[in-house]
Amino acid sequence: MTTVDLNSDLGEGFGRWTLGDDEAMLGVVSSANVACGFHAGDPVSIHRTVRTAAARGVAVGAHVGYRDLAGFGRRDIVVPTPELVADVIYQIGALQALTAAAGTRVTYVKPHGALYNAAAVDERVATAVATAVAAVDPSLVLLGLPGTLSLAAGEAAGLRTAAEAFADRAYTPAGTLVPRGEPGAVLHDPDVVAHRMLRLVTEGVVEAVDGTVVAVRADSVCVHGDSPGAVAMARRVREAFLAAGVALAPFAPASASA
């Protein structure tokens, strides 16, 4: 039986502002990439999210990003290596404390936004992130795009890595994501998205924006929690997987031995 993980970026509210429906999404996904306070999230919203995740058996990952609340972590920022290493360590540590208080633990790390994109192509950034993760806990899994410097740096640091695909994003013929600023970069039709992801999981391919078919390996499929209709889309993807006999399970479960 084919097994895959379904993840979403959660815990991204801040103060009186709510972003996404964490409560509903945690009833759909098997892993939650939880904001750590740098690009989004405050202690109360983060703690609430990890408590719910723990109650529902959803694995928790640290969604670490640049210190960029105003830009939601999606602006390109050049951070010196020692500072970037310390920032990532700090964010993981904060989430570890909140998960411990909620009766669960952090099992993986996924960079967010601009940091995710930079780590995929910039060896310095990729190495800084991997170094920080390994320094905190070498049993943590590093999640990222397949075939990128991010995962290569993680493996070089002795970390286990997992490859990720994006349900609601378009792909280039090279197998990379179409930049958000370009037309058609974000997909919105739940049925189209579900069909694409089922084909990716069962056949290992996805149709690119030019109509060509690209090979993409994925241990986990992400639906962005802040996208319009995110919950409906995640539910449709989950339904398509289960109907086709694809099982859902975290790639880094909290119950696994360290």
Residue 19 lies in a domain: yes
Mean pLDDT over 231-252 rounds to: 96
Q: State the Cα–Cα distance between residues 150 and 143, nearest whole angstrom.
A: 9
Q: How confident is the model at residue 258 (pLDDT cuts 50, 70, 90)?
A: very low
* Domain CATH number, residue 216: 3.20.20.370
Q: What proportion of the chain, given as a percentage, has pLDDT over 90?
A: 87
- Whether the per-residue pLDDT at 81 is higher than 80: the answer is yes
Q: State the Cα–Cα distance between residues 188 and 12, nearest whole angstrom.
A: 20
The range of the structural domain enclosing residue 17 comes to 3-248
Q: State the Cα–Cα distance between residues 73 and 67, nearest whole angstrom.
A: 7
Residue 127 lies in a domain: yes
Residue 225 lies in a domain: yes
Residue 57 lies in a domain: yes
- Whether the per-residue pLDDT at 257 is higher than 70: the answer is no
Q: Give CA separation, 21 vs 32, 85, 113, 202, in Å.
A: 12, 31, 19, 29
Supply the pLDDT for residue 39.
Answer: 97
* Count of Cβ atoms closer than 10 Å to residue 138 Cβ: 12
Q: Where are the alpha helices (H) located in the chain, listed in sequence order?
A: 22-25, 43-56, 81-101, 113-121, 123-136, 149-156, 190-203, 230-243
Residue 257 lies in a domain: no
**Count of domains in the chain?**
1
Supply the pLDDT for residue 16.
Answer: 84
Mean pLDDT over 38-66 rounds to: 97
Q: Say if CB 151 and CB 142 are below 8 A apart.
A: yes
Encode pLDDT of 165-193 as tens digits. Answer: 999 999 999 888 998 888 889 998 999 99
Encode pLDDT of 116-158 as tens digits. Answer: 999 999 999 999 999 999 999 999 999 999 999 999 999 999 9
More reliable by pLDDT, 98 or 255: 98
Supply the pLDDT for residue 226.
Answer: 72
Residue 256 lies in a domain: no
Q: Using alpha carbons only, give the angle 75, 90, 137 rounded to the nearest 5 degrees.
A: 115
Residue 52 lies in a domain: yes
Q: Give CA separation, 152 vs 126, 155, 167, in Å.
A: 8, 5, 23
Q: State the Cα–Cα distance between residues 55 and 164, nearest whole angstrom.
A: 25
Q: Are strands 3-10 and 247-248 parallel, antiparallel or unpaired?
A: parallel
Supply the pLDDT for residue 256.
Answer: 63
Residue 255 lies in a domain: no
Mean pLDDT over 202-228 rounds to: 91
